[in-house]
Structure 1
Amino acid sequence: MKNLKKGVFLFILPLLAFTAAHKFYISVTNVNYSEKDDALQITSRLFLDDMNAVLKERYGIQPKLGIKAESELNREYFEKYLRSKFTVEIDGKTVPYTFLGKKYDTDMVICYPEVPKINLLGVSTIAITNELLTDMYYDQQNVVHFKVKGQKKSYVLVKSDTKGMLNL
């Protein structure tokens, strides 16, 4: 019996050694309104390795986001990708945003888009389209949390449904 247990263990051990843990593909975006600045302040958190992979795949570069040797070209491609996959709409019209920058926190890149001077009093809907990383990872989920004018709403956006809207 002891040899049988040892044999089963030795049989299963190599199988477990080649089993990789499933990786989650997720980003989290918070959309808040600042009365003081009269602006939609947006914070998006993405996995750094996923962003490096998508920039390499999409633009054919060897990105080095998150290291001291990050080049201006890498920063330009990051912003270009962000603007192509992340849009903000107010009352059904796409509005421009200012990309304030990004920072790194361990294995995450945190970026800061902002829509200035939106005059929230006349706004009835705010929508976010977030297609970040869905062109690279089929199971990518982009969570969006709205917190505007006392209204809170959250969405889990996926490749087939990339838009979340808050009605005010």
Structure 2
Amino acid sequence: MKFRKFLLLLAVILPLCAFTAHKYYFSVTQADYDAKSQSLKIVTRVFYDDLQKVFQERYDKSIRVDASYDQEKLDGYISRYFDQKFIVTVNGEQRDLNYLGHKDEIDYVVCFIEVEHIENLKSVSIENTLLMDLFPEQKNVVHLNTGSTKKSFLLTRENDKAVLKLSK
């Protein structure tokens, strides 16, 4: 009788534990081309705990992705990580990212980036492998907007590049 109760309890608890342990891994990026300033303005939202885990794995175990950590130092880590994992190509040429800073939201960090001096935009490509080295199931959503053309992409480890070609 005790064994049956144990099995019943186990049958109820195990699925609940598996359900609560499951987590979704994703980020969302909005990239808007501003023809007036000739720049691509990029806003990326990443869950702060995922970003902290990858920073602790790659750089330093003591990094905290919250307000208690030195924000200038944190911006340095974010900028460095984006330079390695977020590649923007404009008209076939890889471009430098101008990391502007970040702000904290309830569950995620909002990162602000700009790619400047874009004349005669014909194509834009974003290769986004943020968090994919630590979380194989990571998905990165990218929304590209050039004013007249809007397109969204779901990037995975197997398909990590969003390409938008404009016909002019």
- Tell me how far 1:14 sits from its aligned partner: 3.1
- Tell me how far 1:39 sits from its aligned partner: 1.3
Report the Cα distance in structure 1 between the residues aligned to 2:74 and 2:147, rounded to whole angstroms: 36
Q: Would the alpha carbon gap of residues 112 and 71 (structure 1) be closer, same or farther in structure 2, given more than 3 Å must change?
A: closer
Structure 2 partner of 1:3: none
Report the Cα distance in structure 2 between the residues aligned to 1:68 and 1:57, rounded to whole angstroms: 19
Does residue 12 in structure 1 map to residue 14 in structure 2? no
Report the Cα distance in structure 2 between the residues aligned to 1:30 and 1:132, rounded to whole angstroms: 14
Which residue type is aligned with residue 65 of structure 1?
Answer: V
- Tell me how far 1:62 sits from its aligned partner: 1.6
Structure 2 partner of 1:73: 73
In the TM superposition, 1:14-163 aligns within 5 A as: 14-21=13-20, 22-119=22-119, 122-163=120-161
SS at match of 1:73: helix
- Tell me how far 1:17 sits from its aligned partner: 4.8
Alignment: residue pair count: 162
Q: TM-score, normalised by structure 1?
A: 0.87
Deviations 1:30-75, CA, capped at 9 Å, x for gaps: 1111234221110000000000000011113321112233353333
Q: Would the alpha carbon gap of residues 79 and 166 (structure 1) be closer, same or farther in structure 2, given more than 3 Å must change?
A: same
Q: TM-score, normalised by structure 2?
A: 0.87
Identity %: 33
State which drifts further: 132-141 or 67-76. Answer: 67-76
Report the Cα distance in structure 2 between the residues aligned to 1:131 and 1:147, rounded to whole angstroms: 20
Task: Extract unaligned runs of 5+ from structure 1.
Answer: 1-6
Which residue type is aligned with residue 39 of structure 2?
Answer: A
Which residue type is aligned with residue 84 of structure 1?
Answer: Q
- Tell me how far 1:10 sits from its aligned partner: 4.1
Q: Is the 8 A contact 2:48 2:107 kept in 1?
A: yes
Q: Would the alpha carbon gap of residues 13 and 70 (structure 1) be closer, same or farther in structure 2, given more than 3 Å must change?
A: farther
Q: Would the alpha carbon gap of residues 11 and 113 (structure 1) be closer, same or farther in structure 2, given more than 3 Å must change?
A: closer
Q: Would the alpha carbon gap of residues 19 and 81 (structure 1) be closer, same or farther in structure 2, given more than 3 Å must change?
A: same
Report the Cα distance in structure 2 between the residues aligned to 1:77 and 1:92, rounded to whole angstroms: 27
Report the Cα distance in structure 1 between the residues aligned to 2:10 and 2:26, rounded to whole angstroms: 35
